[in-house]
Amino acid sequence: MSGWFARLGLVAATVRETRALADHETLTPAELAAYQRRRFGAMLRHAATHSSYYRERLAGIDLEQDVDPASVPTLDKATMLDHFDAIVTDPRLRLTELEQHVQSSASEGLHLAEYRVMATGGTSGKRGIFVYGQRDWIETLAGLMRFNQYYVGASIRLPNRRRVAAVAAKSQIHMTARMSASLDVGAHRLLRLDARTPLPALVAALNAFRPEVLIAYASVAALLAEEQLDGRLAIAPEMVATTSEVRTAEMSGRIRAAWGHALFDCYASTETGILAGECERHTGLHVFSDQTLLEVMDESGRPVPPGVEGHYLLVTNLVNRTQPLIRYQLTDRVTMLKEPCPCGRPFPLLAAVDGRSDDLLKLRGRDGGVVTVHPLAIRSPLATLPGLREYRVVLDRDGLTIEAVLAFGGESDAARIPALLGAALDQCGVASPPVRVRPVAEIARNPISGKKKLVESRL
């Protein structure tokens, strides 16, 4: 019971913070940009004062003036881990102890009685460790609550509580699970399911629960949509939201066909919490720039204009003062929209977040060099095959292997895969590698997070 009362206090503080964030929805874009600049400056001054790493890195920059982000050094994952103990602002925090914490049975509790510690593997396979203090965590949760209440529309409804089903990671070393557990004080009837659960068991649990709101990894939502269309799943959610993985056009089509209404997507990371989310107009994802500074960069490290897809992101978490992440590199590829959303909110829009789970493939070019192939070039031809229910493309030293879950009668589509991919890679200038198709009953998920890549390089 004491744990419930602690969560209740946390949720009450989060509700107050969410109301404060809601005030930013009425700012003008210029007012919002000015607010973001003030928060960026405050974060720089805090980091320079309390972090020995940033004290050295920011030396020579006049932090009492408006600081151009481009004048501030960037931070990549390897550097962050190498200098972790110097970056954090509490000298009691040590990377070795935090690693031990996330691997122990105490990982769902607080470290040093106040810090929440989460981990992410990322595409490099090198575990990232991220730690949030109590104040940091309240505002991070408020970002999620803002998205759920004011964008998705899943507000608290009493006494007839909403039935909300979430299918994602269950271990609280993952942010999705940690957020869900932190906010669970009974305001919703919440069913948390592990994304690694066999599909028939997920279907049975959801049929029994009858969720009004379904939140799931994109790949799980697409599989559940197939079950709905085939008659094994019989639920009628009023709202469906996806997160954490690439949601391809064919996935979106299946989900809409199953439940007949627009979907909400959100863009989040363990490094930042909720970065962006769709509103009811579904014109793009609103970047919550009151909590983060997002810079879209090309392959050479130059900012790209709206309408052009970037090669990677630089993000500054304006909330987390325990572990300052200033101009931190994320490998996600996004495109900003030129026009604002017609809903009238002041936040800039992302047109797309593509490849955040998938790997770029580096293949031998026809001219003997190396060609970097975007995952979309691989996924697009496969999207034309109705007999391909689910897939994963794996690059190893022997070439490309397509693990394929086929629909009934899908063998003829499977036979087309080598030629389709060969043609797509030829257009990219690739000396086409061997392409093999391996029918499987299911695609294995990450054994810890339950996430899934569509395109994976094992080189």
Separation between Cα atoms, residue 269 and residue 294, nearest integer Å? 13
The type of residue at 260 is G
The length of the chain in residues reads 459
Sign of the Cα pseudo-torsion (206, 208, 210, 213, in order): negative
pLDDT of 222 reads 87
Q: Which amino acid is at 171?
A: S
Tokens 């391809």 map to which residue? 248
Contacts 24+ apart (CB under 8 A), 332-335: 332/269, 332/356, 333/309, 333/374, 334/296, 334/309, 334/310, 335/296, 335/306, 335/307, 335/308, 335/309, 335/310
Residue 271 CA: distances (Å) to CA of 83, 132, 268, 326, 383: 16, 10, 8, 11, 31
The tokens for 190 are 């919440």
Q: What is the pLDDT of residue 168?
A: 85
Query: What is the helix (H) or strand (E) element at residue 429, kind and residue range?
Result: none
Tokens of 16: 């107050």
- Phi-psi bin for 35: left (phi > 0), alpha (psi -120 to 50), beta? alpha
What whole-number distance in Å separates Cα of residue 327 and Cα of residue 317? 8
Q: Enter the tokens of residue 267.
A: 């863009």
Structure-block tokens of residue 275: 């970065």
Domains and CATH numbers, the chain: 1-356 (3.40.50.12780), 361-457 (3.30.300.30)
> In the prediction, which pLDDT does 123 show?
41
Mean pLDDT by 10 residues, the chain (459 residues): 78 96 96 98 98 97 95 94 96 93 84 92 62 98 95 87 90 87 90 86 96 90 92 95 80 90 87 94 95 95 93 95 96 90 96 67 85 70 76 88 88 91 86 89 72 77
CA 87/CA 93 separation, integer angstroms = 10
The pair of structure tokens assigned to 452 is 């899934």
